[in-house]
Structure 1
Amino acid sequence: MQHKILLVEDDTSISEMVKNQFIKEGFAVTAAFDGEQAIELFARETFDLILLDLMLPKLDGMEFLKIIRGKSLIPILIMSAKDGDVDKALGLGFGADDYIAKPFSMIELVARVKAAIRRATHYSRTEKKEESKALQIGVLAIDLDNFSVHKNGSEIKLTSKEFHILKLFVTNPSRVFTKAQIYNLIWNDDYFGDENVINVHMRRLREKIEDDPSAPCYIKTLWGIGYKLGEF
Structure 2
Amino acid sequence: MDKRILIVDDEEDIAELLEDFLSIEGYEIYKATNGTSAKKILSEVDIDFILLDIMMPEESGFTLCKSLREIYSIPIIFLSALQDDTDKIRGLNIGADDYIVKDATPGEIVARIKAIERRLNNFDTQSKNKKNNIIRFKSLELNIMTRSLLIENEKVTLTAKEFDLIKLFLTYPNQVFTYDQIIEKIWGYNQGDFHSVRVYIGKLREKIEEKTNDFKISTVWGVGYKAEGVSCE
**Which TM-score band applies after superposition, normalised by the shorter structure?**
0.7 to 0.9
* Partner in structure 2 of residue 221 of structure 1: 219
Cα distance in structure 1, aligned partners of 2:143 and 2:11: 42
Relative to structure 1, is the Cα distance of residues 30 and 152 closer, same or farther in structure 2, using a 3 angstrom cutoff?
closer
* Partner in structure 1 of residue 109 of structure 2: 109
Cα distance in structure 2, aligned partners of 1:153 and 1:24: 44
Relative to structure 1, is the Cα distance of residues 39 and 136 closer, same or farther in structure 2, using a 3 angstrom cutoff?
closer
**Where do 1:34-73 residues align within 5 Å?**
34-73=34-73
Relative to structure 1, is the Cα distance of residues 182 and 128 closer, same or farther in structure 2, using a 3 angstrom cutoff?
same
Return the offset for 1:169. 1.4
Q: Which amino acid aligns with 1:181?
A: Q
Q: Which of 149-158 and 76-85 deviates more?
A: 149-158
Relative to structure 1, is the Cα distance of residues 185 and 84 closer, same or farther in structure 2, using a 3 angstrom cutoff?
same
- Number of residue pairs the alignment of both structures matches: 228
Please report the TM-score for the alignment, with normalisation by the length of structure 2. Answer: 0.78
Answering whether residue 156 of structure 2 is matched by residue 172 of structure 1, we say no
Return the offset for 1:203. 0.9
Q: Which amino acid aligns with 2:12?
A: T
Q: Give 2:93's match in structure 1, choosing from 88, 91, 99.
A: 91
Cα distance in structure 1, aligned partners of 2:6 and 2:219: 37
Contact 1:98 1:197 in 2 (8 A): no
Instruction: Could you tell me which runs of 5 or more consecutive residues in structure 2 were left unpaired when the two chains were aligned.
Output: none
Contact 1:132 1:143 in 2 (8 A): no
Relative to structure 1, is the Cα distance of residues 209 and 192 closer, same or farther in structure 2, using a 3 angstrom cutoff?
same
Q: Detail structure 1 runs of 4+ shifted over 6 Å in the superposition.
A: none
**Where do 1:147-162 residues align within 5 Å?**
147-151=147-151, 155-162=155-162
Instruction: Could you tell me which runs of 5 or more consecutive residues in structure 1 were left unpaired when the two chains were aligned.
Output: 212-216
Q: Which amino acid aligns with 2:222?
A: G
* Partner in structure 2 of residue 204 of structure 1: 203
Contact 2:93 2:200 in 1 (8 A): yes
Task: Pick 1 or 2: higher relative contact order, CA cutoff 8 A, min separation 6.
Answer: 2
Cα distance in structure 2, aligned partners of 1:158 and 1:28: 25
* Paired-residue identity, %: 36
Cα distance in structure 2, aligned partners of 1:148 and 1:30: 26
Contact 2:174 2:226 in 1 (8 A): yes
Return the offset for 1:90. 2.5
Answering whether residue 18 of structure 2 is matched by residue 11 of structure 1, we say no
Q: Which amino acid aligns with 2:35?
A: G
Cα distance in structure 2, aligned partners of 1:155 and 1:15: 35
Cα distance in structure 2, aligned partners of 1:4 and 1:151: 31
Return the offset for 1:138. 6.3
SS in 2 for 1:72: coil
Q: Which amino acid aligns with 1:87?
A: I
Return the offset for 1:128. 5.4
Cα distance in structure 2, aligned partners of 1:39 and 1:150: 26
Cα distance in structure 1, aligned partners of 2:228 and 2:107: 38
Quote the RMSD (CA, aligned, Å).
3.3
Contact 1:48 1:117 in 2 (8 A): no
Contact 1:8 1:50 in 2 (8 A): yes
